[in-house]
Amino acid sequence: MSTTSYNRRDFLKTGGMLSSGLLISFFVPAGAKRFIPGGETPEPLFAPNAYLNIGPDNTVKITLAHVEMGQGIWTTLPMLIAEELDCDWSKIKVEHAPPGAPYIHTLYGVQITGGSSTTWSEFDRYRNAGATARTLLVEAAAKKFNVSPSECHTENGFVIAGNQRASYGELADAAAKLPPPASVKLKDKKDWKYIGKVKKRLDTTAKISGEAMFGIDVHFPGMLIAVPAHAPVFGATVRSFDASAAKAIKGVQEVVQVPTGVAVIADNFWAAKQGRDALKIDWELGPGENIDSTTQFEEYRQLAATKGATAAQAGNADDALSRANKKIAAEYIFPYLAHAPMEPLNCTVKISDDLCEIWTGTQMPGLDQSIAAKILGFKPEQVKVNTLFLGGGFGRRANATSDFVAEAVNVAKASGKFIKLIWTREDDIRGGYYRAAFLHQVHTGLGADGLPIAWQHRIVGQSIQEGGPFAASIKNGIDPTSVEGVSDSPYLESIPDHNVELHSPKLPVTVLWWRSVGNTHTAFVMETMIDELAFAAGKDPVAYRRSLLKGKRHLAALDLVAKKSGWDKPLPQGRFRGVAVHESFGTVVAQVAEISIREGHLRVHKVTCAIDCGLAVNPDGVKAQMESCIIFGLTAVLYGEITLEKGRVKQRNFHDYKMLRMNETPLIEVHIVDSNEKMGGAGEPGVPPVAPAIANAIFSATGKRVRRLPLQSSDLVKV
Amino acid sequence: MIKLSVNNQPYTVDVEPAMPLLWVLRDILHLTGTKYGCGMAQCGACTVHLNGEAVRSCVTPVRRAENQTVITIEGLSKDFSHPLQRAWIEEDVPQCGYCQSGQIMAAAVLLRENPHPTDQDIDDAMSGNICRCGTYQRIRKAIHLAAKLSAK
Ligand code: FES
Ligand code: FES
């Protein structure tokens, strides 16, 4: 993997030009309005382009404004450029961008990879960058060949006119001297050669040979390893500590206190970890000690009995409920969940008098940069962030407090040493920033036709935005990420009398977005309750949903999944099916799960998935993301649970915070709706429907509704 | 001082004999293709070959490798030419990629022992390796493909 080797100040001076070659101006795509949480408008972007440059050797180096964490953006963004640039695909080299204005998200106003937004948010910007480069190369060639640009065409990295041809590398210097074009014309859809076609990932060889550099793989002479000791309960602080046993371990160099605990610094990880384990720390525990998962849900239940902040409201649900033919009420419980990315959290920091250099895998390099600068009293431009491959992110590496980066900077600052901070798996599982625990209560009523006429919904759970940089999105006590998937549910649109209320209790347990965010729990409630109503109405679950959903995309996904799963065909004996459909991140995904239960064991045999994400730029990438989402969602259904006892997280590692494995993997079939709808995301929207599809299948097998995740063994026994 | 052979290179390392092979590979020899995922034999990210057998290097004290032969992902082939690597490319297996060294090293032993594994054989051999990105289906396909490629 190529790593970025220029520093931030040079970058600002030269606009990111690394070597002799062509540098492409940057244009703000007309359609992309930018938005900053909080409402201010940032400076208009007109910077010299840092998205691609072409070297004399024909290498096309593409700089990614987003980071590669498995979702395939290392390949998809280059596809967008290659489509317009018409370059030689085999000559493409890819790198992550440093923090910088040109790499700010076209909509979110910060440099972030998240919200399943990379492909659609960069669709214009990266194509424009490619088209601009091509226009200049053609112009340069036309001059060289003494013809008009219209007589030239491009092919695989060459400009050709009649029998004259020149490679992009040969033309780069001349093209760099031309003024940028005022506008460029993007290719017609019918001429696309890359977009919508299957393209192999560009990072595979690095990832099957040990060459790929993740943050944890960074090594420099003189660098030491730090392992932190964190508080046993959330919010606890160090009263005092005794490092004598730690320091007696061979290889341990130093022990320092930092705001988040105590860190042991040693020659290697093994020594540092042994040292960390030998520390004796006296903690001031604070109120975090009182949190207990059982009483927590008891308290949430009490809150749910009271009126909350209104997230959605229409008509009079109380009245409508009293008129209902049939009433159904249910309560749902969802635990805290850890992201557990495969690569444990880590960050390498080197501080000199006026420069701090950071190497890590992060979803928000710009925020990390400013938080590091603040800790050190530096200007942001004195902090250089090198983003390496992320061994999974799922939201954990987009932390509003830059927690592991800040901790590493603090360790480097306190010790004066060049360190790589590594969290153990235990530190990760117990380290907080979880998907928040939630409790839902729903009261619904059916009319004479079996369709719902009333829907009352109360949600209780911590806000992930409260107190953070995106807190401005909280309006009237509603953190949209707590209610998304319910308050904007298309089912509610068809129910004239409904209300959705939210309580956001504050707890010391830290919480964060977790792949598909609020939809992780809201989709479960909506899709299992709708299924329950279908059953109560004596209707087929797919047909019932079809009678409530009006949106073209919902119907297309539902129809496709029903067709491909053979919904109306009988199943072999002992097999059962469940369906769910949910929209998130601008994409609709429908899934059918096929299961069996034998001797109290659930086996998921097959998940059929249909996705309408609008245009699928890299269809195989979309399929891979659906496969990934389904395994991720299934893991949560079967195992995902972080529990607290006396404030202490009970789980530690993969033996008690389990992951789905090969032997439990269902056959997954993904079908992409041929769609001209607005582009949506693909990294997350496959997660929400998994759990309800499985729960609905379990109901057909057992006659029992699943109301709590993860599954309990009692859920799998027939009534 | 402990002597061992890694990827057919002789090394002498001055470490505690109890230090796990994983950290000798990563922190002393700087062969970082072998990954740390759990440190307790749960995930398989650290899988290497010790005298041809797949072991969890995170729980293998380096003394067990003394005067023995270790092969890591870096030593599997020089040019991505191992049938498993070719199959991994063909099926576009990796996502984040972090688990894949361990997956490939585990699969290599499976294929050597069983050149034509069934799905069940693959499940049995590979269920010790976690992939948080959920690439299992593609791994399974790629192992079948690698079996075909090796047979040619
Ligand atoms: S790191 Fe060795 S099995 Fe997980
Ligand atoms: S590819 Fe990410 S953990 Fe396997």
Interchain CB distance below 8 Å, B36 and A269: yes
Count of all residues that appear for chain A in the document = 719
CA dihedral (A153, A157, A160, A165) in degrees, to 10, reads: 170
Which of A4-13, A164-173, A436-445, B106-115 has the weakest average pLDDT?
A: A4-13
* Average pLDDT score over residue span A30-53: 40
Q: Is B96 in the pocket of ligand 2 (CB under 6 A)?
A: yes
Q: Which of A76, A209, A668 to mutate to test the interface with B (most CBs of B within 10 A)?
A: A209
Lowest mean pLDDT across A25-39, A331-345, A552-566: A25-39
pLDDT band at A242 (very low <50, low <70, confident <90, very high): very high
Range from A4-8, A411-415, B84-88 carrying the lowest mean pLDDT: A4-8
C-alpha to C-alpha distance for A153 and A79, rounded to whole angstroms: 19
Q: What are the angstrom distances between the C-alpha of B96 and each of A341, A360, A393, B33, B122?
A: 9, 14, 9, 14, 22
Are B26 and B13 spatial neighbours (Cβ–Cβ below 8 Å)? no
β-pair type (A452-461, A497-503): parallel
Q: What average pLDDT does this structure show over A450-466?
A: 97
State phi, psi for B119 to the nearest 5 degrees.
-55, -40
Q: Is the pLDDT of residue A17 over 60?
A: no
H/E run at residue A591: strand A587-598
- Over range A62-84, report the average pLDDT: 97
8 Å CB contact of B132 and A268? no
Ligand 2: nearest atom to the Cα of A70: 2
Residue B132 near chain A (CB below 8 Å): yes
Q: Which residue of B has its CA nearest to A207?
A: B97
Q: What is the DSSP string of A272-292?
A: HHHHHHH-EEEEE-GGGGG--
Would the CB atoms of A204 and B122 count as touching at under 8 Å? no
Q: Does the beta carbon of B134 sit less than 6 angstroms from any atom of ligand 2?
A: no
Residue A288's pLDDT band, with cuts at 50, 70 and 90, is very high
Residue A7, pLDDT above cutoff 70: no
C-alpha separations of A479 from A34, A251, A313, A461 in Å: 21, 48, 16, 10
Please indicate whether, in this complex, the C-beta atoms of B80 and A205 are within 8 angstroms of each other: yes
pLDDT at residue A26 tops 80: no
The pLDDT of residue A467 = 86
How high is the ipTM of this complex? 0.98
Note the ligand closest to the C-alpha atom of A391: 2
Q: Which residues in B lie closer than 8 A to residue A654 (C-beta atoms)?
A: 37-38, 40, 42-43, 130
Residue A37, pLDDT above cutoff 90:
no
Average pLDDT in the A233-252 region? 98
Q: Closest approach of chain B CAs to the CA of A115, in angstroms?
A: 17
Closest chain A C-alpha to B143 CA, distance in angstroms: 12
Average pLDDT score over residue span A185-189 = 94
Over residues A48-77, the mean pLDDT reads: 90
Show residues of chain A in contact with B128, CB under 8 Å: 661
Residue to probe by mutation, ligand 2, list B46, B93, B96, B138, most atoms within 8 Å of CB: B96
Lowest mean pLDDT segment, chosen from A15-19, A66-70, A169-173, A688-692: A15-19
Q: In what order do the strands lie in the sheet with B2-6?
A: B9-13, B2-6, B69-71, B47-50, B53-56
Query: A40 pLDDT exceeds 60?
Result: no
Domain boundaries along the sequence of chain A: 3-204, 215-286+345-422, 293-336+434-716
Give me the pLDDT at residue A45, please: 22
Average model confidence (pLDDT) for chain A? 92
> Percentage of chain A with pLDDT > 90?
88
The residue of B32, B123, B132, B141 whose CB has the most chain A CBs within 10 angstroms, and thus the best one to mutate to test that interface, is B132
- To test the ligand 1 pocket, which listed residue (B23, B43, B101) has its Cβ within 8 A of the most ligand atoms? B43
Please give the number of the atom of ligand 2 that sits closest to the Cα of A341: 3
* CB-based contact B131 A342, cutoff 8 Å: yes
Lowest mean pLDDT of A16-20, A205-209, A372-376, A695-699, name the range. A16-20
* Mean per-residue pLDDT, A512-527: 98
**CATH of the structural domain A215-286+345-422, one choice from 3.30.365.10, 3.40.50.2300, 3.40.640.10, 3.40.1160.10:** 3.30.365.10
Residue of A nearest to B103 (CA): A208
pLDDT band at A542 (very low <50, low <70, confident <90, very high): very high
CB contact under 8 A, A219 and B30: yes
Residue A41 confidence (pLDDT) above 60: no
- What single-letter DSSP state applies at residue A39? S
A464-479 pLDDT per residue, tens: 999 887 888 999 999 9
Q: What is the mean pLDDT of residues A262-285?
A: 98
Is the shortest distance between the CB of B39 and ligand 1 below 6 Å?
yes
Closest Cα to residue B139, out of B76, B94, B109, B102?
B94
- Taking the CA of residue A405 and the nearest CA in chain B, the distance in Å comes to 19
**A-B C-beta contacts closer than 8 Å:** 186
- For ligand 2, say whether the CB of B95 is within 6 Å of any of its atoms: yes
The pLDDT-based confidence of A127 (bands split at 50, 70, 90) is: very high
A396-410 residue pLDDT tens:
999 999 999 999 999
What is the share, in percent, of chain A residues with pLDDT greater than 70?
Answer: 93
- Same fold across A215-286+345-422 and A293-336+434-716: yes
Whether the Cβ atoms of residue B22 and residue B32 lie closer than 8 Å to each other: no
CA of A374 to the centre of ligand 2 (A): 34
Mutate to test the pocket of ligand 2, among B35, B126, B132, B139 (most ligand atoms within 8 A of CB): B132
- CA nearest neighbour of A358 among A512, A220, A255: A220
Q: List domains and CATH numbers for chain B.
A: 2-73 (3.10.20.30), 83-151 (1.10.150.120)
Separation of B99 CA from ligand 1 center, angstroms? Answer: 10
Q: Is B46 on the interface with A (CB under 8 A)?
A: no
Return d(Cα B142, Cα B88) in angstroms, integer.
6
Total-model pTM = 0.94
Chain length of chain B: 152
pLDDT at site A55: 86
| Res A6: pLDDT | 27
Helix axes A118-145, A73-85, angle to 10 degrees: 30
On the question of pLDDT at A4 being above 50, the answer is no
From A211, A654, A665, residue closest to B136, measured CB to CB: A665
CATH annotation of A293-336+434-716: 3.30.365.10
Q: Which amino acid is at B94?
A: P
Which helix (H) or strand (E) is A298 found in, with range?
helix A293-304
Digit-coded pLDDT (tens) for A369-392: 999 999 999 999 999 999 999 999
Collapse the DSSP code of A91 into the 3-class scheme (helix H, G, I; strand E, B; otherwise coil) and give the result: helix
For A3-204, give the CATH class: alpha beta
pLDDT band at A49 (very low <50, low <70, confident <90, very high): low
Mutate to test the interface with B, among A342, A653, A664 (most CBs of B within 10 A): A342
Q: Is the predicted pLDDT of residue A682 greater than 50, yes or no?
A: yes
Q: Which atom of ligand 1 is nearest to the CA of B58?
A: 2
By Cβ distance, the residue of A210, A342, A425 closest to B39 is A425
pLDDT at residue A686 greater than cutoff 60: yes
Concatenate the DSSP letters of all residues of A673-707 into one string.
----SPP---SSTTSTTHHHHHHHHHHHHHS----
| Predicted local distance difference test score (pLDDT) of residue A18 | 28
Interatomic CA distance for residues A90 and A199, integer angstroms:
12
At residue A685, what is the residue type?
A: P
